[in-house]
């Protein structure tokens, strides 16, 4: 891994778009605020829009978080704007001039350039060709960041890779999946392999079931035209949730070396069984029970007979020595009762013997919001009672760590990784290939089925009504109502003298 020095150039292509304004530039500002970005670098926004420098500043600064006015002012001094097309050399020649003038002014012997494609995938090939032709440093370092989606299916992913591979080496490409930059996802390796408490029981002998769930409390809200061609499986399951599951199930890498980590991710993906189209739940949200929230089909940007999947739950089986026989469920949905992403690992029951009835242990890792790790354990009720209760060992980040403790947002973390040349949290080409091999047959069977039955669920609900039975059928045991309390502050009546 080679970190950039003091003098480098960052170019955000697609600088006038929402992704750049809401995520990329705020992330760069966050790094600058925390002194993780050189004060001597230059940052260039590139787009087709005719923007004045002032308009550009106003657009990229509206989502900045933290920092005082002086900090914002100093950051914007590093930034400038270049107008240009994505399919013509002229604009990229303007970029080349900016590069060379900057590098000459600061006596830079080895050019260091980062180009971030905050663009639709349809432009990737054209833009990459012009980057290679016009601004590729003959004696220097270039890092090209590509946003998901990395293709629509296996064929399109292969076509994209085929077009980019001759232009840049794999070391020069950073395929960004922002979930790999989230604090709790980055913590999974340490949690698993840095604690014998967990490492020793992380297998089929002790774990009964695993769930990775994604819940959004809002629907498409007028952007269904985009979502209608994507669906929930492509939007978050083929990428975000699969990435989380591979980190949960891969073998221990020999080191924190990026390639060692990515090697293990690919190995476990190759052990995944084909997804069973007959063993899943697919749904689409309907109007809320009070009628105040619209159904998916009420969105004027989608067809009235759309079969777009807004909720999906399916099982994953991994055929290797560690996981064979452990049921795993990935589930994701829009327009649900809350916004949350979490992992639930439920352990097998202890032998009854001395216990007539006792609950299962469960490890819960909340990725967002309010990062937390907690373990459900059985404990004796305090006092004279001899009964047990289900309680927690709780690590909630907001309670454990000071508010002044900087936890980078996902894009901040990943952009810092790019600057340091760390590929560990980015998707490698062979990993992308294997993931699409898994998902493309499932998507084809669902999307080519004219009789596909989508279970309707009310906007703001927990999801399809069959979900509870589905989870029970895949190894998850629900805690009985009223038996899990946190905090437990009063003794049970039986525990009183």
> Which residues are paired to 175 by β-bridges?
146, 427
What is the per-residue burial (b if ≥16 Cβ within 10 Å, else e) of 127-154? Answer: bbbbbbebbbbeeebbbbbbbbbbbbbb
CB 16 within 8 A of CB 51: yes
Chain-centroid distance of CA 434 in Å reads 18
Q: Is 240 a catalytic residue?
A: yes
Distance CA 208, CA 200 (A): 15
DSSP label at residue 65: -
Distance CA 244, CA 343 (A): 9
CB 237 within 8 A of CB 434: no
Tokens read off for 145: 């960041």
Between the alpha carbon of residue 42 and those of residues 49, 56, 73, 364, 421, the distances in Å are: 20, 15, 14, 42, 18
Between the alpha carbon of residue 61 and those of residues 10, 43, 242, 407, 408, the distances in Å are: 17, 13, 33, 21, 18
**Which of 106, 206, 240, 319 does the annotation list as catalytic?**
240
SS3 assignment, position 401 = coil
Nearest CA to 216 out of 329, 297, 335 is that of 335
Q: Which residues are catalytic?
A: 240
């Amino acid at each position: 891994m080679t970190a950039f020095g003091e003098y480098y150039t960052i170019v955000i292509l697609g600088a006038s778009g929402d992704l750049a304004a809401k995520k990329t530039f705020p992330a760069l500002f966050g790094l600058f605020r925390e002194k993780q970005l050189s004060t001597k670098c230059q940052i260039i926004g590139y787009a087709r829009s005719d923007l004045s420098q002032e308009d550009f500043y106003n657009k990229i600064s509206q989502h900045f978080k933290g920092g005082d006015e002086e900090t914002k002012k100093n950051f914007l001094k590093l930034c400038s704007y270049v107008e240009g097309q994505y399919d013509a050399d002229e604009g990229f020649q303007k970029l080349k001039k900016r590069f060379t003038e900057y590098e000459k002014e600061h006596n830079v012997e080895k050019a260091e350039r980062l180009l971030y494609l905050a663009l639709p995938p349809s432009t990737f090939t054209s833009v990459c060709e012009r980057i290679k032709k016009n601004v590729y440093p003959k004696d220097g370092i270039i890092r090209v960041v590509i946003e998901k989606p990395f293709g629509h299916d296996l064929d399109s992913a292969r076509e994209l890779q085929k077009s980019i591979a001759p232009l840049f080496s794999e070391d020069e490409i950073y395929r960004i999946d922002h979930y790999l930059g989230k604090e709790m996802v980055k913590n999974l390796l340490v949690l698993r392999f840095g604690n014998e408490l967990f490492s020793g029981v992380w297998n089929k002998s002790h774990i009964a079931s695993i769930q990775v769930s994604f819940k959004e409390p809002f629907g498409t809200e007028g952007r269904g035209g985009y979502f209608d061609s994507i669906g929930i499986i492509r939007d978050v399951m083929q990428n975000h949730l699969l990435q989380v599951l591979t980190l949960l199930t891969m073998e221990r890498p020999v080191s924190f070396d990026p390639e060692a980590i990515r090697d293990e991710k690919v190995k476990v993906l190759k052990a995944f069984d084909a997804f069973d189209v007959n063993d899943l739940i697919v749904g689409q949200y309907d109007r809320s029970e009070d009628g105040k929230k619209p159904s998916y089909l009420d969105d004027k940007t989608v067809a009235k007979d759309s079969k777009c999947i807004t909720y999906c739950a399916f099982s994953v089986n991994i055929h290797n020595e560690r996981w064979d026989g452990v049921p795993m469920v990935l589930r994701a949905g829009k327009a649900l009762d809350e916004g949350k992403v979490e992992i639930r690992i439920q352990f097998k029951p202890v032998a009854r013997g001395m216990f007539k009835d006792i609950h299962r242990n469960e490890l819960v890792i909340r990725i967002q919001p309010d990062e937390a790790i907690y373990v459900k354990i059985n404990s004796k009720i305090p006092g004279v009672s001899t009964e047990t209760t289900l309680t927690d060992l709780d690590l909630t980040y907001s309670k454990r760590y000071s508010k002044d403790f900087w936890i980078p947002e996902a894009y901040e973390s990943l952009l810092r990784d790019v600057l340091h040349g760390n590929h560990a949290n980015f998707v490698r080409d062979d990993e992308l290939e294997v993931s699409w091999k898994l998902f493309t047959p499932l998507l084809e069977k669902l999307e080519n089925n004219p009789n596909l039955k989508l279970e309707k669920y009310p906007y703001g609900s927990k999801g399809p009504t069959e979900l509870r039975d589905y989870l029970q059928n895949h190894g998850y045991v629900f805690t009985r109502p009223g038996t899990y309390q946190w905090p437990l502050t009063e003794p049970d009546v039986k525990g009183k003298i």
